[in-house]
Amino acid sequence: MDKGTVTIKRGLAQMFKGGVIMDVVNPEQALIAEEAGACAVMALERVPADIRAHGGVARMADPKIIEQIMNAVSLPVMAKVRIGHFVEAQILESMGVDFIDESEVLTPADENYHINKHNFKTPFVCGARDIGEALRRIAEGASMIRTKGEAGTGNVVEAVKHIRAVNDGLRKIVSMELEELVRYTKEIGSSLELLLEVKELKRLPVVNFAAGGIATPADAALMMQLGCDGVFVGSGIFKSQNPAIRAKAIVDAVTYFNKPEVLKEVSYGLGEAMPGLEILKLKEEEIMQKRGW
Amino acid sequence: MNIGILALQGAFLEHQKILTKMGLNSSLVKETSDLDKIEGIILPGGESTSMRLISQRKKLWSELKLRLNLGLPAFGTCAGAILLSKSIVEEDTETLGLIDVQVKRNAYGRQVDSFDDFIDLKFSPEKAYLAIFIRAPRFEKIGPQVELLAEHQNQPVLLREKNVIISSFHPELTDDLRIHSYFIDIIKNKGR
């Protein structure tokens, strides 16, 4: 009998496919997410929009908050650690958190290195802006990838940029000859072994979700049509006027992402979305996606 | 023959890949009209609550329940097995109720307790089968008409009643096609 194998870790991510993972900060929100049909929840102390507003160093949530959420729902529970902070990850693993997000939304603990995720039985998800970054995280043991987008902005533009960059890289790899792939490893900073695997699979070897700025059912469906396997919604639900209804609408939009008549129906009379931020107006130090490499 | 795969949430494409490998036609089931074209249905792994709520909001749930009760063959894996069971331990959540089993969600613990192990398939004993259990449910209170097809450490993990089979593990995550083949034989033999 084996535990924590690659198949088992990546397998849980495969069970999330076609689903929505929602940020929640307390058991009440977790129950709203469950009732909406979320496939997992991300337990946090603050949603990204509030992390932005709060400023200072953002760290792993208090285990008490995470535990309360784990006890409230039967869904898998994820939680975030700082980039490179393997001790925060050890704590989450010991608590039995189902998935760990090594996240740029928190203040990085290590400017050079991400966590060696092979050392854990708990699977990890990491953000990526392009194919090279995605494959570097997979090389470190990530069992799932998500676009970084720009969290807490309610602006989908960066997530779109990142999934398009990943898709562009995938297309190139699939069409390249061996000698071209060898050169491409240098350009994108990834191993030949992983490029050959991508070429064979014609996709990333792990599940790839959208994240960072998804605020409406249409945003979620856009990311699905661009090839994402599912969607994370952070601030977009609980910073909107009507979280319970919006949560359901986004879940339905991910399932019926290519049926405009359903998308119209679920978008109808949703109330105000979260207030959005323009990326160009963010200060350099406010841009989260540049954390990590 | 065309096999439907419930495609609301979860690992439905993994099932489709296996059926394609077996040379079979399949189609994704998202709406009630999709049920007209199929001779059997697979309910995949994923989140059972998500699948139930999405299908209930879209009237697919009641139509699916009707077809299943009229004898549409079904194969449920993990979350799909929960949906097909008669009831859920300590919950009054509605299920499709096709197989006389009480199911306990996440009975083996959380993700860190997920595991793989070899089991013996009663219908194919020549070679051990590597079963992958992810936050797996456990089948309890099994009715007299339910046939045991495989067990792990004395716990039932693969069960059949008439033309419905359920597994607490994930055949869609392996390359071993035997359980899918067994389901296809059930469809071909009209339940026997």
Mean pLDDT, chain B, as a whole number?
96
Predicted confidence (pLDDT) per residue in A144-195, tens digit: 999 999 999 999 999 999 999 999 999 999 999 999 999 999 999 999 999 9
A99 three-state secondary structure: strand
Distance CA B171, CA B133 (A): 10
- The share of chain B scoring above pLDDT 90, in percent, equals 97
Percent of chain A as helix, strand, coil, to the nearest 5: 50, 15, 40
Q: Which residues of A213-231 are buried (b: 16+ CB within 10 A; e: fewer)?
A: bbbbbbbbbbbbebebbbb
Q: Is pTM beyond 0.95 here?
A: yes
DSSP 8-state code for residue B33:
G
Sign of the dihedral through C-alpha B52, A243, B13, A126:
negative
Mean pLDDT of A247-259: 98
Distance CA B177, CA B22 (A): 8
Chain A residues whose CB is inside 8 A of the B170 CB are: 11
Q: How confident is the model at residue A94 (pLDDT cuts 50, 70, 90)?
A: very high
Distance CA A76, CA A90 (A): 18
Distance CA B41, CA B37 (A): 10
Q: Residue B132 pairs with which residues in a beta bridge?
A: B116
Of B7, B106, B170, which has the smallest distance from its Cβ to A11's Cβ? Answer: B170
DSSP 8-state code for residue A249:
H
- The share of chain B scoring above pLDDT 70, in percent, equals 99
Of B10, B49, B106, which has the smallest distance from its Cβ to A15's Cβ? Answer: B10
Using N-to-C axis directions, what is the helix angle for A131-139 and A157-175, rounded to 10°?
Answer: 80
C-alpha closest to that of A291 among A111, A96, A160, A73: A111
Which of A3, A9, A15 to probe by mutation at the B interface, max B CB count within 10 Å?
A15
Predicted confidence (pLDDT) per residue in B90-103, tens digit: 999 999 999 999 99
Chain B residues whose CB is inside 8 A of the A254 CB are: 9
Nearest chain A Cα to B113, which residue? A3
Residue corresponding to tokens 């946090």: A44
Nearest chain A Cα to B44, which residue? A15
pLDDT given at position A71: 97
Of B10, B30, B134, which has the smallest distance from its Cβ to A17's Cβ? Answer: B10
pLDDT over threshold 70, residue B192: no
Predicted confidence (pLDDT) per residue in A100-157, tens digit: 999 999 999 999 999 999 999 999 999 999 999 999 999 999 999 999 999 999 999 9
The first and second tokens of residue B32, run together, are 């009630």
Q: ipTM of the predicted structure?
A: 0.97
Distance CA B79, CA B50 (A): 10
Give φ, ψ of B37 to 5 degrees: -100, 10
pLDDT given at position B16: 98
Q: Residue B103 pairs with which residues in a beta bridge?
A: B88, B139
B126 three-state secondary structure: strand
Which of B33, B43, B47 to probe by mutation at the A interface, max A CB count within 10 Å?
B47
Which positions of B are catalytic?
78, 170, 172
The first and second tokens of residue A151, run together, are 């969290």
Whether A15 sits inside 8 A of B45 (CB atoms) is yes
pLDDT given at position A195: 98
C-alpha closest to that of B134 among B147, B148, B152, B116: B116
Whether A17 sits inside 8 A of B111 (CB atoms) is no
Nearest chain A Cα to B131, which residue? A1
Of B11, B13, B111, which has the smallest distance from its Cβ to A98's Cβ? Answer: B111
CA distances from B78 to A17, A125, A174, A205, B44 (A): 15, 23, 33, 23, 7
- The share of chain A scoring above pLDDT 70, in percent, equals 100
C-alpha closest to that of A266 among A232, A203, A218, A229: A218
C-alpha closest to that of A282 among A128, A150, A108: A150
Q: How confident is the model at residue B191 (pLDDT cuts 50, 70, 90)?
A: low
Distance CA B121, CA B46 (A): 23
The first and second tokens of residue B139, run together, are 């089948």
Predicted confidence (pLDDT) per residue in A29-69, tens digit: 999 999 999 999 999 999 999 999 998 899 999 999 999 99
- The count of other CB atoms within 10 Å of the CB of residue A71 is 10
CA distances from A67 to A70, A71, B65 (A): 5, 6, 36
Question: Could you give the residue ranges of the DSSP H alpha helices within chain A?
Answer: 6-16, 27-36, 48-54, 63-72, 86-95, 131-139, 157-175, 178-188, 192-201, 217-225, 235-238, 243-255, 260-267
Predicted confidence (pLDDT) per residue in B86-139, tens digit: 999 999 999 999 999 999 999 999 999 999 999 999 999 999 999 999 999 999
Nearest chain A Cα to B133, which residue? A8
C-alpha closest to that of A131 among A32, A17, A227: A227
pLDDT over threshold 60, residue B21: yes
Task: Evaluate whether A143 touches A9 at the Cβ level (below 8 Å).
Answer: yes
Mean pLDDT of A256-261: 98
Task: Evaluate whether A230 touches A39 at the Cβ level (below 8 Å).
Answer: yes
- Structural domains in chain B, CATH included, are 2-188 (3.40.50.880)
pLDDT given at position B190: 74
Distance CA B5, CA A63 (A): 39
Whether B106 sits inside 8 A of A18 (CB atoms) is no
Task: Evaluate whether B62 touches B118 at the Cβ level (below 8 Å).
Answer: no
Beta strand pairing call for B25-29 and A2-3: unpaired
Chain A residues whose CB is inside 8 A of the B78 CB are: 15
